[in-house]
Structure 1
Amino acid sequence: MPEPVHNALSGNIGTAVQVGHLHGDVNFNVFPSTGPGLGSLAPPALTHDVRGRGELVSAVVEELRAGQSCVVHGAGGYGKTTVAQQVAAELGAETWWVDASSERSLHDGLREVALRAGANPQEVHEAWEGRGHAPDLLWRQLARVESRWLLVLDNADDVRVLGAGRPIAERTGWLRTSTGSVLITSRDGNPQSWGGLARLHEIETLSVADGAQMLLDRAPDAGSSGSAGELAQRLAGLPLALHLAGQYLAVVATMPQVPGLDLPVDFDSYRTALDDRWPEVTELPDAPHPLAERETLHRTWELSLDLLAERGYPSARPLLRLLSHFADAPIPLEVLRTDILAKAPVFAGITAVHLAALIKALTDVGLLHSPENPVPVLRLHPVVRETNRYLGEPQEIGNNMAHSVALAGVMAASMEVTDPATWPRWRVLLPHCAATLDVPDGVREAVPGLIALTCERATRFCATAGLVLQGIDLARAALSRLAETRAEVREPLLGIRNDLASMLLDRADLDAAEAEFRVVLEAAPDVFGANDARTLGVRHNMAGLLQARGELERAESEFRAVVELMTGSLGAKHSSTLAARHSLAGALLARGRLAAAEAEYRAVLDLRQQVLGAGHMHTMTTRSELAGVLRASGELEAAEAELAELLDWAAETLGDDHSRVLITRSNLAAVLAERGDLKRAESELRTVLAVAHEVWGADHPHVLAVCGQLENVLRGQGKRALPDQAAIAPETR
């Protein structure tokens, strides 16, 4: 099949998404995964006892059990999430925890909820792509769940998002009355915002006694309960401030008290230090103004940063400021390249050892966290991030924004896109690439080329890894926010538009894909030249569009022209030339010219093994296509051996539930069936169907085709064919 060149405009046009081909059984198109497992819905774990929230938690639990939706609201740092965690623990129901801090995270989380609740994955796929009403689908499915469940929407500060474009009171959006339990945490405590759909519970600051106990939980040797109470009162009962103060004193307690070390070591001295640093707000009103609350938190953090400076880490403060300008998402540790950091005067001379020590120091005082993740990451508390990103002089803030953009860009440029081993790192980096578009105009105008190149790499990753929806969103955002008039931006924006067109083609949105391809093809000759490799890459993709439309003769002719031109300008062994030849072989196969297709695939395979290596994804894709030719030519034994080896590679490299693994397994089953080994064919097909509905959706043509294969295999053994969805579950007898 045609092999879209997603990075045809980047200067390395050989990187491409390549897909398998089910010859006669399933015609394969790339679709984003539709199955559960894309994101965790588990509640975050509690790390300390919950203090001072017993009555609130009991009231919320009682109302949830009675079927009443609840909103716990209050300012940042008050512990709303902690209350929700305790409620979930006490309610004892199956809990689905969704990050509602942004429209995207809310939609992604609720999509996962719908799937976990048993919704048809294909219907979910279509609804979340705009071909159905996703909120209706979600609530229809939740109404069918017989067991007790709790849906937590955490940090739903923008209530308009829950309305899905309509007033929330109309009950047509994401929040409705339900037979289960819905708990929301939000900063919005306005009853009109919630339209009578939920019972509101305001979360207060902690009492002196509870605040004191919270301090003693973290720093049990830092003084008496009376002294802890005085400090708790001084900190206005703000849970986050109390937590950070306790963490600070716990760290100090482990330090040698050498002569001249003048640091607060207990509750009393910590309170005195706060007074010295904070004379203007010594007496807080009974109901602190939000700005005063933020100042309280800021002063608490500043004291912790002073501690680190005293311990020999003056760069901890600017590092925290810098990290606050990344996206509100886990930050890959890899992004903090010391050679890039050192270009800023404040980090001059920084080494990897020093950076590691800074990160540990910030973690020790509770300002950074290192959650468990396959890719090492750092996480800031949202309130810490929110406050610190606006601290400092305007020039300093602008420099930090530009520095975060540079760091994300360097990491994006350093990672291969087509190597599946890099994809977990790309997934963590992706939100930070998108965040480069959110900087103020002044910063964006200072480094537009860097931002454009970063987004181009990110959209190429999305296209390659099958993250089509995310990639389309990112591409369209980049095209709308970056002016194409700048010379350094025009080329990467053409690459982004080409990636957008390729992803639209993957979704079989042929008209939209053609429109985008034509825009690129019209501009590319002026920018690059008519016979430039990047222009030819777009012609290659347009040929793939012709094949998708069924214009096979025209597609073959265009592929041949592109191959000839690429061979002349790039050389016979260039990855883009080989990609075009691979697509040409697919066009020949589609026209039934088996001998010509086999010869072309074998030539491409030989060159790809030389250039890319035997285990490269592109090499393995060509082998997969060649196995299909062998099967179509009647060479079943050779096809079986090839597919079996390819299946082992794909399962180990991509995982058992990857689309390419399922396709290879079903192709192997087809060969086994043709060779008369019906029992093994049945086993392979059942293995496919056990997970296929999660990957493609039960009504997807791939699944229907494999069900048809299984029916034929069962009849061939004299077994009763299984009806409809019964075939999806593995046989248990």
Structure 2
Amino acid sequence: MNGSTEGRAEGNGRDADNPAILREGNWLRTSPRGITLVTTRQVAGHWWPGATLHHVGVLPREDAAQVLCDLAPERGTAEEAAEIADQLGRLPLALTLAGGFLAHQVISPWSMAEYGRALGRGNELDPIELLDQGAGYSGGDASRHLASTTWELSLNALHDQGLPEAATLVRLLSCWSHDPLPLHLLAGSDIDAVVPRARVETALRGLLDHSLTRLVPGPPRCLRTHGVLLDSIARSAPADQHDLLVSTAAELLSAIVPDMSRPWAREDPPLTPYVPHTLALLRRATQWTGVGPAAMTRVLACTLRLAVALHRSGDYASALSVAQDAVTRGTQVLEANHPAVIAIRQRAGRSLYRLGRYEEAEAAHRLALADCTAVFGPSAVETLESCAGLSPVLAWALDRKDEAVALVRRAVEGRTAVLGPTHPSTLIARTYLLEFTAGPETHPDAGAALVSDCHGEVGPGHPITLDAELNHGFALVTAGRQPRALPLVRNVVTGSEHTYGVDHPKTLAARSLLSRVLGELGRFQEAAAQAELVADARTRVLGPGHPWTLWSLDRLAERQRALDGRRSTGGDVQGETP
């Protein structure tokens, strides 16, 4: 059988780190008898002509747990071992080191549970240093047996091969997460700050050939780099490069995340892949020394864009998670009243409201409003943003509509003075004002001018226009103009489905109003059908305990009772007309 090699394992001989020694028939030769097995970090096929390559990845979860149980059988259960294995990415070297640490402690042995907690202590404990404590003592070169140094063998080899940029590129990768990283992130022009764009492809190929990262099929095509490797690379990155690496990583992420001035659309690429990388960048920016306020501000600006995009997509939980982590991390470098931090806090308040956490939302918005007033002044656009953000919490969650109206009038007047009456921000505030002041005395044409301005400024089908049309329909309903409201609200439902999708919270809000209009027009069967769609979707999307879900279930019960009442009296529910 021909000579066979397998890659991705730890090299067990120095010669295997330099495949050139094995070529030209010096060591590997075709033979009808026996198998030659070579372990190597070099996985490029051109090094191994005629060989069969077997790529060895991380261990399956059960096998990874068994490694720990075999090495330290008295330190914990199989499930505890599996949890540690997950934390270590099921990497054989890391598992061996962890097992060695647990097995050989003498003075005060840890349990597996204690070891797992130590690994997760973030800034308090260096996980790579903890792993290295599990290495056995030997008289030979220990570098390939330590999590902190084994990767240096490959980076040194790449440097000797004329690829010093590979080390810089993997340091940049260490700013992000071990989750799949979309490859087009590395195509941004800002990467020139750390690696010349003309050398990125070659440097990346070197990392791939040396098993320092791997490709993950798409779409989108991604890189996946092991977390233990990233942490090891990060701890050895020169301190004078930390600020530049963080700034560059933030700029590359910002180029991918949608700009806040552009409305979200359901055709946009998924944002979920960028969440772990943004959170990892926040973590790295606070772990590394030398990351200054300017770099942290760039990271927060990128995080804000992601939080806004997630919120607009309807993923309020992810938006809140990103925003809250950004506030926690950002205030380790910047003051709590820094403009970048305040902007993130405002976004967190909006997500808290959408998640039904009303008291927390009010507290977040009030604190942001106070800080904005102190830092920017009472008439600044940042302060007016807090006025607008707090107003729906007061109007609909806390039943303080008069205060909400006063705040949103302040936002309308202030934005009109600074930005103009048809600026998108002003249009949003005007839409809030129409919603909060709608009632029996509302003039039927009160929202017509707003809708016309939206059509002229941002165009039909735009999210701002859809909101204005919906609130115009709501004002018509509260003024007793249901027949006039019905076609308008139907069009908003159709437009929202096209823009957001059928389960988006804004689509469900429009459908809820449609159910109300139909019910008040006596079209009970249609009203009940629309109410059921809303209740089912909110239960699925927001959860059964969310206030909006509970409210929708109550409205469904009302519509169903009205329908049952019509049926019990022999009324025609099939041919209902307005």
Q: Which runs of 5+ in 2 are unaligned?
A: 1-53, 68-76, 117-135, 570-578
2:193 counterpart residue number: 343
| 1:273-352 to 2 correspondences below 5 Å | 285=138, 292-294=145-147, 297-298=150-151, 301-302=154-155, 305=158, 309=161, 315-344=165-194, 347-348=195-196, 350-351=197-198
Contact preservation (8 Å) 2:430, 2:450: yes
> In the TM superposition, what is the alpha-carbon distance from 1:323 to its structure 2 partner?
0.9
2:348 counterpart residue number: 500
> In the TM superposition, what is the alpha-carbon distance from 1:708 to its structure 2 partner?
0.9
Per-residue CA deviations over 1:229-283 (Å, capped at 9, x if unaligned) read xxxxxxxxxxxxxxxxxxxxxxxxxxxxxxxxxxxxxxxxxxxxxxxxxxxxxx9
2:264 counterpart residue number: 419
1:527 counterpart residue number: 375
TM-score scaled by structure 2? 0.66
Per-residue CA deviations over 1:123-161 (Å, capped at 9, x if unaligned) read xxxxxxxxxxxxxxxxxxxxxxxxxxxxxxx99x99xxx
Contact preservation (8 Å) 2:279, 2:322: no
Per-residue CA deviations over 1:564-607 (Å, capped at 9, x if unaligned) read 33222221111222122111111111x44332xx5342222211
The one of 503, 508, 512 equivalent to 1:657 is 503
Contact preservation (8 Å) 2:493, 2:510: yes
Whole-Å separation in 1 of the counterparts to 2:350 and 2:58 = 53
1:70 counterpart residue number: 79
| 1:357-368 to 2 correspondences below 5 Å | 358-359=203-204, 362-363=207-208, 366-368=211-213
Whole-Å separation in 1 of the counterparts to 2:61 and 2:407 = 71
The one of 540, 557, 573 equivalent to 1:708 is 557
The one of 615, 618, 633 equivalent to 2:464 is 618
Whole-Å separation in 1 of the counterparts to 2:378 and 2:179 = 42
> In the TM superposition, what is the alpha-carbon distance from 1:634 to its structure 2 partner?
4.8
2:249 counterpart residue number: 404
Contact preservation (8 Å) 1:409, 1:454: yes
Contact preservation (8 Å) 2:330, 2:341: yes
Per-residue CA deviations over 1:382-422 (Å, capped at 9, x if unaligned) read 23323332345443455434432443355458465641358
AA in 2 matched with 1:301: S
CA RMSD of aligned residues (A): 4.6
> In the TM superposition, what is the alpha-carbon distance from 1:618 to its structure 2 partner?
1.5
Contact preservation (8 Å) 1:412, 1:457: yes
- Structure 1 residues 187 and 377: alpha-carbon distance in aligned structure 2, compared to 1, 3 A threshold: farther
* Identity across matched positions, percent: 20
Contact preservation (8 Å) 1:375, 1:424: no
> In the TM superposition, what is the alpha-carbon distance from 1:470 to its structure 2 partner?
0.8
Per-residue CA deviations over 1:498-531 (Å, capped at 9, x if unaligned) read 3333334444555544444344333434533332
Whole-Å separation in 1 of the counterparts to 2:209 and 2:142 = 30
- Structure 1 residues 576 and 80: alpha-carbon distance in aligned structure 2, compared to 1, 3 A threshold: closer
- Structure 1 residues 399 and 675: alpha-carbon distance in aligned structure 2, compared to 1, 3 A threshold: closer
AA in 1 matched with 2:453: L
Per-residue CA deviations over 1:56-106 (Å, capped at 9, x if unaligned) read 69989xxxxxxx8534469989997499xxxxxxxxxxxxxxxxxxxxxxx
Contact preservation (8 Å) 2:158, 2:206: no
AA in 1 matched with 2:378: A
1:491 counterpart residue number: 339
Q: Which runs of 5+ in 1 are unaligned?
A: 1-46, 61-67, 84-153, 159-184, 199-282, 721-733
Per-residue CA deviations over 1:425-462 (Å, capped at 9, x if unaligned) read 54333333333433224213463432343344344445
AA in 2 matched with 1:664: A
| 1:72-91 to 2 correspondences below 5 Å | 72=81, 81=90
- Structure 1 residues 679 and 448: alpha-carbon distance in aligned structure 2, compared to 1, 3 A threshold: closer
1:602 counterpart residue number: 448
Per-residue CA deviations over 1:328-349 (Å, capped at 9, x if unaligned) read 33334343354211133xx23x
* Residue aligned with 1:70, SS: helix
* Residue aligned with 1:627, SS: helix
The one of 442, 447, 452 equivalent to 2:290 is 442
Contact preservation (8 Å) 2:405, 2:433: yes
Contact preservation (8 Å) 2:171, 2:233: yes
AA in 1 matched with 2:154: W
Aligned length: 471
* Residue aligned with 2:539, SS: helix
| 1:445-484 to 2 correspondences below 5 Å | 445=293, 447-464=295-312, 465=314, 466-467=316-317, 468-478=319-329, 480-484=331-335
Mean CA deviation greater in 653-662 or 420-429: 420-429
Whole-Å separation in 2 of the counterparts to 1:674 and 1:358 = 67
Contact preservation (8 Å) 2:512, 2:531: yes
Larger RCO (CA under 8 A, 6+ residues apart): 1
1:552 counterpart residue number: 401
The one of 373, 381, 386 equivalent to 2:231 is 386
Whole-Å separation in 2 of the counterparts to 1:449 and 1:618 = 29
Whole-Å separation in 1 of the counterparts to 2:558 and 2:378 = 47
> In the TM superposition, what is the alpha-carbon distance from 1:715 to its structure 2 partner?
0.6
Whole-Å separation in 2 of the counterparts to 1:472 and 1:53 = 34
1:537 aligns with 2:385: yes
